[in-house]
Chain A
């Protein structure tokens, strides 16, 4: 556990010192600013637009960090060959993978927290009310980000960074379209196609389940039961991917 924290701490420091994070935060600031601007242009719907854009910006930035930094976690260590000196230490490969994941998880949490505070500030500044539903939406954004990070880590244990990025992005997009997938499957003519699409529907993570931004933006609270189920679903899926990542990493040659 101690070693895990050492790796996590180093990952945290590495990413903090990487300038990419500052750019992304700047991006969030711009988006929130834009939402204020747009909000003042429209009458009546202002509060909703600020909420919509703010949540979308937080979600986007968090997922971009998850994918791009997440893939770098392991691939960079391998490409830069720093992994040799790390794994030659009394640390298991599982500890290494989980430490990396935790380090980035910490970063993502800090980032989302910072963006969320900025977002709440924007709401207050524009003279709108802060709804409890916004907290619910951000919690599920965090869960989605943790899940996307696990996807990125999983793919990067056995493929190059470009390939992992493509696959993670692909799975992310499909994950948001799973309900459409089921619809297409039901309408499809060929049996084979239907079976394949249905299988895809069950294998791919259902990311739309973690998306309550629309409802939250209009200030409607989500049922606690749904929130808990969605969270558990997301974390369980992430756990499975992490287990897979550990198993593959364990067998790898360097």
Chain B
């Protein structure tokens, strides 16, 4: 079963005044997140990631289309007991201490006092905030707020976790911790749906990704499949001891040639002409340094797809 189903979702912000133009922020977005997977939701600033997530949680009303979470429509309040949500750059009640804060959210999720008291130390440990448990949130740094936000999203041990840019504001160690935390959630059988515009985060942990650009889904699927489908497998050949005229034959076959002193880098669009090029180089007396088949990256797809529309 799918944990999240989004069908033909459209969101138009109505302007304050009738003479202003309505802004269509999402158009015809469809995606599904399978149970037990980590789904990365990629998109540039202003692509509509936050808007989509807010619609999922019923904070915004969709103009058109359907949304289902764990088999219920977004308007169903009860199903949110099984969902954890971390909003973008979260702000919290700054007069509460970390412990009181988690206790409040635990109660809101309908947990009893005993369970809450048991969960709080575990969660604080998990987001490395045990030392700060008695500190008021207004004395927290940005990264600490992000962490306590994560703890808040997990207090009721939800089946589905929706995180809006969970790594933003964190240092490299913090980012790694969050990545590990997300992977840990998957190991427990939870579903994680998170947004980001940092591709390496996605590449490292996601099972599947969706790329959103200007409110439209551009690509959706497993990273390897996307990379295979969308990027050419180019080959990079590095060779020493060949210059200018020697490369005449090679030039016709290569996509690009970069020359720096003795060394030159030849980029081929695929394996097809590799043998010919190698033969030509050998004939010209070059010393082969390396041949690297280059696999396309998600970043290339992202940049290519999003800039094509620009």
Contacts and interface: CB of A to CB of B under 8 A. Distances in A.
Contact of B93 (A3, A6, A82, A84): A82
Given A80-B91, A82-B93, A88 B104 contact: no
A223 interface: no
A254 interface: yes
Interface in B70-111: 77-81, 83, 85, 87, 90-93, 95-96, 104-105, 107-110
B77 A92 contact: yes
B80 A85 contact: no
Nearest to A6: B107
Interface string A204-244: 00000000000000000000000000000000000000000
A89 B58 contact: no
A80 B109 CA distance: 21
A103 B81 CA distance: 23
A254 B108 contact: no
A6 B90 CA distance: 21
A85 B78 contact: no
Contacts of B13: 253
Contacts of A2: 110
Contacts of A82: 91-93
A10 B60 contact: no
Contacts of B61: 251, 253
Interface residues of A, number: 24
B52 to A, nearest CB: 14
B60 A14 contact: no
Interface residues of B, number: 29
A86 to B, nearest CB: 7
B92 A85 contact: yes
Given A84-B87, A254-B59, A89 B95 contact: no
A3 B110 contact: yes
Contacts, number: 71
B110 A90 contact: yes
B60 A254 contact: yes
Given A88-B58, A88-B59, 9 more contacts: A3-B108, A13-B96, A18-B95, A80-B91, A81-B90, A85-B92, A88-B85, A90-B78, A90-B79
A14 B94 CA distance: 9
Contacts of A17: 95
Interface of B: 13, 54, 57-61, 77-81, 83, 85, 87, 90-93, 95-96, 104-105, 107-110, 149, 152
24 contacts: A2-B110, A3-B107, A3-B108, A13-B96, A80-B91, A81-B87, A82-B91, A82-B92, A82-B93, A84-B54, A84-B57, A84-B85, A85-B87, A85-B149, A88-B85, A89-B81, A89-B105, A89-B108, A90-B77, A90-B79, A90-B80, A90-B109, A253-B59, A254-B60
Nearest to B136: A17
A248 interface: no
Given A90-B77, A254-B54, A14 B104 contact: no
A87 interface: yes
B169 to A, nearest CB: 15
A88 B60 CA distance: 11
A91 interface: yes
A122 to B, nearest CB: 32
Nearest to A86: B108
Given A10-B93, A10-B104, A85-B152, A90 B85 contact: no
Interface string A89-107: 1111000000000000000
Nearest to B95: A17
Nearest to A81: B91
B57 A87 contact: yes
A89 B107 CA distance: 10
